[in-house]
Structure 1
Amino acid sequence: MNSTKRLAIIAVMVSQAMILSLIESMLPIPSIVTGMKLGLPNIVTLLAIIFLGYADALTIVIIRCILSSFFSGGLIFFLFSISGGVLSVLVMALLYKKMSKALSLTGISIAGALAHNTGQVLIACIVMKTAAVLGYMPLLLGASVVTGCFTGLCSGFLSSALKKINIISHRS
């Protein structure tokens, strides 16, 4: 894929992730834990790993985190977003590269959701200077399985559709 097309696809994917993030922020999801979300932008992240590769997926996440922090709450929001996003990309990219034959996209997405929440809780411990935040981990990890399953199923559906219409060449 030439660099102009790659850059255009990255820009579109950043835009899609931002739109999904905005939609997600408007959904009235009841939550026991403050800030718990579906993780809709992670659908784009997983598709980027599949179609563009790890480096471009990481670029998309970093740009999305920077832009989202401008719209949603500044430095603290950025720290939570970037920690979860980067850790999630690392885990999903590694699993996709090493285990995609044995592990479904849903399984990879669940692992990414678990990593995302773990990264955010670790940042919360640092920012709040207390390990008490770790008490939220069981709830967050349980929610990660549910949300990761949902985003994984969405990613699988969209990946199959994109492969069929061949808009983006699939990476091997």
Structure 2
Amino acid sequence: MPTRKLTIIAVLVAQAIVLHLFEALIPIPIPIPGVKLGLANIITLLALVIFDFKTGLLVAFLRTVLGSLLSGTLLNIAFFLSFSGAITATCLMALLIYWIPSARLPSGYSLLAISVAGAAAHNLGQLAMAALLIKHTAIFYYLPIMLLSSVPTGFLTGLLLRELLKYLKSSGQLEEFYL
């Protein structure tokens, strides 16, 4: 891997970790267990848009492992829930970006839809892992609440990413990723 790309990936992982840790400090106005903004997913989706699936998966993997290590949750239940959600979301978002032609546009409303789908996949991945850990499928009764929460959270992260991409493009920094 070229040094330039490796450096950019390291910066993306660092940004995702900072957002992961920052999000833990934000009080959620509606206290629903398991519902978070998913700010670190902005960076994962950015990696998918500007690079490829392998890089997006690497960013998701490293940010969950290192973020959990720094927050003291490595290898506990929170880590496994976060990890399974991040990997599931990354895989679905990559599927939508790379293999479904109508979603190929990296800007506009398609990016918002991909982000919402990623938030839903994140929640589904978390619930699947929770069902595995507790060895009971009753946890899926919580799925409608989690899916409903993924609409505003996914929309917000998609909107923030869209604005970030606009900024990177207008400042000429987006083209640097493709050099």
TM-score normalized by structure 2? 0.88
Greater relative contact order (CA < 8 Å, ≥ 6 in sequence): 1
Deviations 1:7-66 (A, max 9, x none): 010010001001111111000103443231000001101111111111111001101111
Contiguous gaps of at least 5 residues in structure 1: none
Distance across 2 between alignment mates of 1:136 and 1:31: 16
| Match runs of 1:72-151 below 5 Å | 72=71, 73-75=73-75, 76-97=77-98, 98=100, 99-101=103-105, 104-151=110-157
- Residue equivalent to 1:71: 70
Identity %: 41
1:46 matched residue in structure 2: 45
Partner of 2:10: 11
CA distance in 2, matches of 1:68, 1:20: 9
CA-to-partner distance for each residue in 1:44-90, whole Å, 9 max, x for gaps?
01111111111111001101111122133121222111111111111
Provide TM-score, normalisation by structure 1: 0.92
Deviates more, 1:6-15 or 1:70-79: 70-79
What SS does the corresponding residue of 1:30 show, helix, strand or coil?
coil
| CA-based RMSD | 1.7
In 2: Cα distance, 1:161 partner to 1:120 partner: 32
Match of 1:155 in 2: 161
Aligned residues: 170
In 1: Cα distance, 2:85 partner to 2:119 partner: 8
SS of the aligned residue for 1:19 comes to helix
Matched residue, 1:26: 25
